Amino acid sequence: KTSRQQLGNSMEPFPLDEQPTIGVAVKNLFAVLLSEQFADLATLHKCSRLVLGLVNTLQLTDPVQKGLDCPQGEHESGLQRLDFLARYAHAHRLQLLLRSKGAKITQLLGRSYLQVTLPDLRAHIQQQVEAQAEAVRDISDHVLEFVDRLAASVQQQQDDAAARRDGEEGAQEDGHFSVRPLPLSTLVWGTNIDAQLQQRAEARKVATEQRAQAQTQAVLDLVSNMQQQQQQ
């Protein structure tokens, strides 16, 4: 079995220790969308399998051709353009290397690789949907949105500290205790989703108790004020 250590520097600029892997992240997205009732279980399974399969098998465009097909964006600097082309070329070489060793990209690589290659995957699925290909016929109403949600989780430019602040429990907003929603990037690319969800469940319990106490105190204050007015 091919390991990250065996590949060594050939995996740069994609971190050797990047976790979770693409495979784990797609499973996390599956769980998130299932909780949102995005689609039925069978449809989500098909979307997940299609995306994972294509990450492992879809041939990336030749880097030179990629540069011709995707000209520099209006708001893209020269340095940003060079960085993208360099990363894409490396992803292309790494893809060929992993396949030659019989390794699965989804089991070895993470967010950085997917950030570079996901547009190619989406374009391929878009073509399949438009052609009503057999592989996507039963999931054509959901698969592109599935990929877009995955892309949104990849592209969110939030560092770990900011993500934790966004998901911070027990926030005081206008005097009310509330639990802010976790960002999609945290839910999909977090390394310990079960622990995070458990913390949120506990935080919701605390928030409920705080609100109940506040409501009780408000009623007591109201009664006290009424009694004082009657005495006057």
Tell me the pLDDT tens digit for each residue of 88-128.
999 999 999 988 989 899 999 999 999 999 999 999 999 99
- pTM attached to this predicted model: 0.72
**CA separation (Å) from 199 to 32, 147, 178, 196, 205?**
16, 28, 14, 5, 10
- Interior/surface letters 69-86, b for 16+ CB within 10 angstroms, e for the rest: eeeeeeeeeeeeeeebbe
Residue 156 has what pLDDT?
Answer: 72
At 205, is the pLDDT very low, low, confident or very high (cuts 50, 70, 90)? confident
In contact, 33 and 48? CB cutoff 8 Å:
no
The residue with tokens 């689609």 is 39
- Model confidence at 5, in pLDDT bands (50, 70, 90)? low
Element (H, E) at 136: none
Radius of gyration of the chain (CA): 24
Of 29-38, 111-120, 158-167, 199-208, which gets the smallest average pLDDT?
A: 158-167
Q: How far are the Cα atoms of 29, 61, 129, 206, 232 from residue 126, in angstroms, in the given order?
A: 20, 16, 5, 45, 75
Averaged pLDDT for residues 3-24: 68
pLDDT-derived band at 181, boundaries 50, 70, 90? low
Cα angle 124, 63, 156; round to 5: 60
Structure tokens at 89: 């070329």
Tell me if 30 sits within 8 A of 48, measured CB to CB: yes
pLDDT at 14 over 70: yes
- Band (pLDDT 50/70/90 cuts) for residue 17 is low
- Contacts of residue 72, defined as CB under 8 A and 6 or more positions apart, other chains included, come to 78, 81
Q: Please state whether 191 falls in left (phi above 0), alpha (psi between -120 and 50) or beta.
A: alpha
Residue 108 CA to residue 110 CA, distance in Å, equals 7
